[in-house]
Amino acid sequence: MYTIIVLVPCLIIGGTMVLVHDWPANSVVTILTLFVAFVVSMTLVTVIYLKLLPFVKRANGDTATDDDDHHESH
């Protein structure tokens, strides 16, 4: 399930590298294109990771209970 976290940036950054491989390396357009590709891919990885967190909690069950969550008033 977590392979999607690796595949998404690989496809985005890999596709961008294929797109810009003939462009001059010190061109502003090349640098901006690569920067946008990296920012978009890292944002998507963060969003995908946060979306997958509830599945991890459900798969583990509620075995790890936090004492801070269960306050009793006496």
Average pLDDT over every residue of 1-20? 90
For the chain, the structural domain boundaries read 3-60
Q: What does the pLDDT read at residue 43?
A: 95
Average pLDDT over every residue of 19-33? 95
Question: What global pTM score does this model have?
Answer: 0.68
Through-space distance between the first and last CA atoms of the chain, rounded to whole angstroms: 44
